[in-house]
A and B are shown apart, each in its own frame.
Chain A
Amino acid sequence: MVSSSEEQAETSFRVTRPQLALAGGLSLALVALFVATMPFARLPTQNTEILVPAYAAATFVLEAMTAALLFALYSARRSLPLLFLASGYLFGALMLAPWALTFPGVFTGFDINAGLQVTAAFGLLRRLAFPLFVLAFALAPRREITTSAALVAVCVCVGATVLIEVTLYFRDALPPLMRDGRQVNLLWQVVPALAMALYAVDIVLLLWFRRSALSLWVCIVLFSLGIELLLISYLGGGTRLSVGWWAGRLYGLVAMSIILLVLIAQTTLVHIRLARTVAAELRSREKRLTAMEALSASIAHEINQPLASMVTNADAALRWLSKAEPRIDKAELALRRIVEDGHRANGVVAGIRTMFTKGTRERAELDLAAIVARAAGEASRDARHYGVEIVVEGEREVPPVIGNAVQLHHVLRNLIENAVDAVRAAPLRARRVTVRLSQEPHGEVHVGVADTGAGIASEVAERLFDPFVTTKPGGMGMGLMFCRAVVEAHGGSIWASANTPHGAIFHFSLPVAILSVADAQARSGVEEKAR
Chain B
Amino acid sequence: MTDAVVYVVDDDRSILASLESLLSSEGYEVRAYESPRDFLNARCPDLPGCLILDVRLRGASGLEFQRELARAGIATPIVFITGHGDVPMSVTAMKSGAVEFLLKPFRDQDLLDAVREGIARDRRRRARDAEISSLRRRQAALTPRERELMPLIASGLMNKQIAAQLQLSEATVKVHRSQIMQKLQARTLADLVRIADQLAATGPGE
> Measuring CB to CB, which residues of chain A are less than 8 angstroms from any residue of chain B?
297, 300-301, 304-313, 315-317, 319-320, 323, 327, 330, 333-334, 337, 340-341, 344, 382, 385-386
Q: Which residues of A contact B59 (CB under 8 A)?
A: 385-386
Cβ A305 vs Cβ B22 within 8 A: no
Cβ B15 vs Cβ A320 within 8 A: no
Cβ A337 vs Cβ B35 within 8 A: no
Centre residue among A297, A308, A309 by max chain B CB count within 10 A: A308
Cβ B19 vs Cβ A312 within 8 A: yes
Cβ B22 vs Cβ A309 within 8 A: no
User: What are 29 A-B interface contacts by the 8 Å CB criterion?
Assistant: A297-B84, A301-B84, A304-B84, A304-B104, A305-B14, A306-B14, A308-B15, A308-B105, A309-B15, A309-B17, A309-B18, A310-B18, A312-B19, A312-B21, A312-B106, A312-B111, A313-B18, A313-B21, A313-B22, A315-B107, A315-B108, A316-B18, A316-B108, A319-B108, A330-B24, A337-B21, A341-B14, A385-B37, A385-B59
Cα distance A89–B137 when bound, in Å? 103
- Known A337-B14, A385-B35; contact A305-B21, beta-carbon cutoff 8 A: no
Cα distance A344–B17 when bound, in Å? 15
Across the interface, name the chain A residue whose C-beta is closest to B19. A312
Centre residue among B12, B26, B105 by max chain A CB count within 10 A: B105
Q: Which residues of B contact A308 (CB under 8 A)?
A: 15, 81, 83, 104-106
Centre residue among A309, A319, A320, A386 by max chain B CB count within 10 A: A309
- Known A301-B83, A323-B25; contact A307-B105, beta-carbon cutoff 8 A: yes
Q: Which residues of B contact A307 (CB under 8 A)?
A: 104-105
Q: Which residues of A contact B104 (CB under 8 A)?
A: 304-305, 307-308
| Pairs of residues from A and B, 4 with the lowest C-beta to C-beta distance, nearest first | A308-B104, A315-B108, A316-B22, A311-B105
Q: Which residues of B contact A344 (CB under 8 A)?
A: 14
Cα distance A306–B17 when bound, in Å? 12
B133 shortest CB reach to chain A, Å: 37
Across the interface, name the chain B residue whose C-beta is closest to A312. B18
Q: Which residues of A contact B194 (CB under 8 A)?
A: none
Q: Which residues of B contact A382 (CB under 8 A)?
A: 58
A-B contact count (CB 8 A): 83
Cβ A312 vs Cβ B83 within 8 A: no
Contact of B12 among A297, A309, A313, A386 (CB under 8 A): A309
Q: Which residues of B contact A327 (CB under 8 A)?
A: 25
Cβ A319 vs Cβ B25 within 8 A: yes
Cα distance A300–B106 when bound, in Å? 16
Cβ B58 vs Cβ A385 within 8 A: yes
Q: Which residues of B contact A319 (CB under 8 A)?
A: 22, 25-26, 108
Across the interface, name the chain B residue whose C-beta is closest to A311. B105
Centre residue among B17, B35, B81 by max chain A CB count within 10 A: B17
Centre residue among A317, A382, A385 by max chain B CB count within 10 A: A385
- Known A305-B12, A306-B14, A337-B14; contact A330-B21, beta-carbon cutoff 8 A: yes
B186 shortest CB reach to chain A, Å: 48
- Known A309-B12, A309-B14, A309-B15; contact A315-B22, beta-carbon cutoff 8 A: yes
A25 shortest CB reach to chain B, Å: 65
Q: Which residues of B contact A340 (CB under 8 A)?
A: 14
B146 shortest CB reach to chain A, Å: 56
| Main SS class of interface, A | helix
A332 shortest CB reach to chain B, Å: 11
Further contacts, 7 of them, CB under 8 A, given A312-B108, A316-B21:
A305-B14, A310-B18, A334-B18, A337-B14, A385-B58, A385-B59, A386-B59
Q: Which residues of B contact A333 (CB under 8 A)?
A: 21
Q: Which residues of A contact B15 (CB under 8 A)?
A: 305, 308-309, 312
Cβ A312 vs Cβ B22 within 8 A: yes
Q: Which residues of A contact B81 (CB under 8 A)?
A: 308
Contact of B21 among A311, A334, A386 (CB under 8 A): A334
Centre residue among B35, B81, B84 by max chain A CB count within 10 A: B84
Q: Which residues of A contact B35 (CB under 8 A)?
A: 385
Q: Which residues of B contact A323 (CB under 8 A)?
A: 25
> In chain B, residues 11-46, which have Cβ atoms closer than 8 Å to a Cβ of chain A?
12, 14-15, 17-19, 21-22, 24-26, 35, 37
A417 shortest CB reach to chain B, Å: 11
Cα distance A330–B84 when bound, in Å? 29
Across the interface, name the chain B residue whose C-beta is closest to A318. B108
Across the interface, name the chain B residue whose C-beta is closest to A334. B21
**Residue B56 at the A interface, CB < 8 A?**
yes
Contact with A along B94-119 (1 / 0, CB 8 A): 00000000001111100100000000
Cβ B105 vs Cβ A312 within 8 A: yes
Q: Which residues of B contact A334 (CB under 8 A)?
A: 18, 21
Across the interface, name the chain B residue whose C-beta is closest to A321. B25
A462 shortest CB reach to chain B, Å: 31
Contact of A305 among B19, B24, B58, B83 (CB under 8 A): B83
Cα distance A420–B25 when bound, in Å? 39
Cα distance A341–B108 when bound, in Å? 18
B71 shortest CB reach to chain A, Å: 21
B33 shortest CB reach to chain A, Å: 12
Centre residue among B24, B25, B26, B84 by max chain A CB count within 10 A: B25
Cα distance A317–B17 when bound, in Å? 12
Across the interface, name the chain B residue whose C-beta is closest to A303. B83
Q: Which residues of A contact B18 (CB under 8 A)?
A: 309-310, 312-313, 316, 334, 337
Q: Which residues of B contact A309 (CB under 8 A)?
A: 12, 14-15, 17-18
Cα distance A275–B17 when bound, in Å? 57
Cα distance A341–B22 when bound, in Å? 16
- Known A297-B84, A301-B84, A307-B105; contact A330-B14, beta-carbon cutoff 8 A: no
Cα distance A306–B24 when bound, in Å? 20
Q: Which residues of A contact B56 (CB under 8 A)?
A: 301
